[in-house]
Structure 1
Amino acid sequence: MKLRLLPALVAITFLNLTAAAAEPPLAKFAAGEVANFTAHAEPRPLEAIAFQDADGAERSLADFEGQVVLVNLWATWCAPCRHEMPSLDRLAEAIDDPDFSLVAISLDRSGADKAKAFLDEIGVENLDFYIDPTARTGMRLQAFGLPVTILIGRSGRELGRLVGPAEWDSEEAQDLIRAALAGGS
């Protein structure tokens, strides 16, 4: 009887170890305010995207090469986006690391003035302004709703994403970003 149980116990142990090994490295940080963050088992390539800064100059994710980047796609007409923007502003202040950039890209088709006015209205002080008035960035990054926030590793590959709003200045969100900074991917 004991010999029959041994193979079953070995199989169960193996399956448990395999499942634990397959868990994406950042998955354990998807908790609390960022519980909806979906970490990828392997970093995923991203399509090239183009957007503009506050001066209208063309920018791309390549401008942030070698950094961990949190890309947030938002619009002024998106109520959840409007709600989470102050927490993104506080996050930008809280994580003062030269290897981290927070890139909040407005997808407002009505132009930069409306988006800038909203950020001024809520007192944003720590976020740089970026916009893609064509909204192609959302399509290329497969954002089928807003807000969408994508965590990108130093390699320029997507580590994971969160669809919907979050309190980005929460301890859990900061732990997630610090783990990405420590992980080096």
Structure 2
Amino acid sequence: MIRSIALVLPAALALAACDSGAGEPAQESAANAGASEAPPPPPQLPGQVVRAFAGTELPPLTFNDPEGNTLNLGELDSPVLVNLWATWCAPCVIEMPALDNLAGELEGDLKVLTISQDVRGAEVVQPFFAARDFQYLEQWLDPENELALAFSDGGLLPVTILFDAEGKEILRVAGGYEWDSEEAIARVSEALVEAEGVGGA
């Protein structure tokens, strides 16, 4: 079912997303370039909202941050937006400030989790965060790419998935997206209200 996402998303997504097939050397060079200055954002990040996988369960995987703190996805009991990203992925880097703004806008109603798929983990993620003034995003690491294997078609990044309080997928976006736009905030808010109504029915 995961591979069927290629049939759902238009070929134009390739312009708004990165894949991990380039290997670690490419990750290193892009990470070093991104550490000094993020690339200028395009007029739009044309990520596509997909509901074809609604109901998919959030896997009970465990991740760490550079300080050794642990995140167990199976223990989350509130709505969460899981973003799979990497420092070498230009659309990922561009949308990170928007995700930070979304996390602030919906603080208390939604947890935004950015989980790095960098194979070098904290070695590249810590400098990336140190060079930026994120207020709400945290440095969760998935160097084994467990989430990308579960949710990304062929390593396509970024992938961002909205889960309800019961850990059921509501929607996902493949490719970069303007997460702090009025449209995106309204879409996420409405989806959470809808999911709450269904869960409480």
Residue in 1 aligned with 2:90?
A: 79
SS of corresponding position for 1:37: strand
Cα deviation, 1:21-77, whole Å, max 9, x if unaligned, reads xxxxxxxxxxx9777111248522243322113422332212322x11100000001
Structure 2 counterpart of 1:140? 150
CA distance in 1, matches of 2:159, 2:54: 19
Q: Is the 8 A contact 2:162 2:172 kept in 1?
A: yes
Task: Judging by fraction of residues, say which structure has more strand.
Answer: 1
Specify which of 50, 61, 66 is matched with residue 38 of structure 1.
50
Question: Can you give the 5+ residue segments of structure 1 that lack an aligned partner in the other structure?
Answer: 1-31
Tell me the CA shift for residue 149 of structure 1.
0.3
Higher mean alpha-carbon deviation, 137-146 vs 162-171, is at: 137-146
Counterpart-to-counterpart distance in 2, 1:170 and 1:34: 13
1:129 aligns with 2:139: yes
1:48 corresponding residue in structure 2: 60
In structure 2, what is the equivalent of residue 162 of structure 1? 173
TM (norm. structure 1) is 0.74
TM-score (norm 2): 0.68
- State the percentage of identical aligned residues: 36
Residues 125, 152 of structure 1: alpha-carbon distance in 2 compared, 3 angstrom cutoff: same
1: CA distance, partners of 2:192 / 2:96 = 22
* Residue type of the alignment partner of 1:50: T
* 2:104 partner amino acid: E
Largest Rg, 1 or 2: 1
Equivalent in the alignment of 1:117:
127
Aligned residues, how many?
152
Matches within 5 A, 1:2-81: 36-40=48-52, 42-65=54-77, 67-81=78-92
DSSP-derived class of the 2:88 partner: coil
> 1:107–1:132: 8 Å Cα contact kept in structure 2?
yes
Moved over 4 A (4+): 32-35
Residues 1:107 and 2:107 are matched in the alignment: no
Structure 1 residues 35 and 108: alpha-carbon distance in aligned structure 2, compared to 1, 3 A threshold: closer
Q: Amino acid of the residue matched to residue 75 of structure 1?
A: A
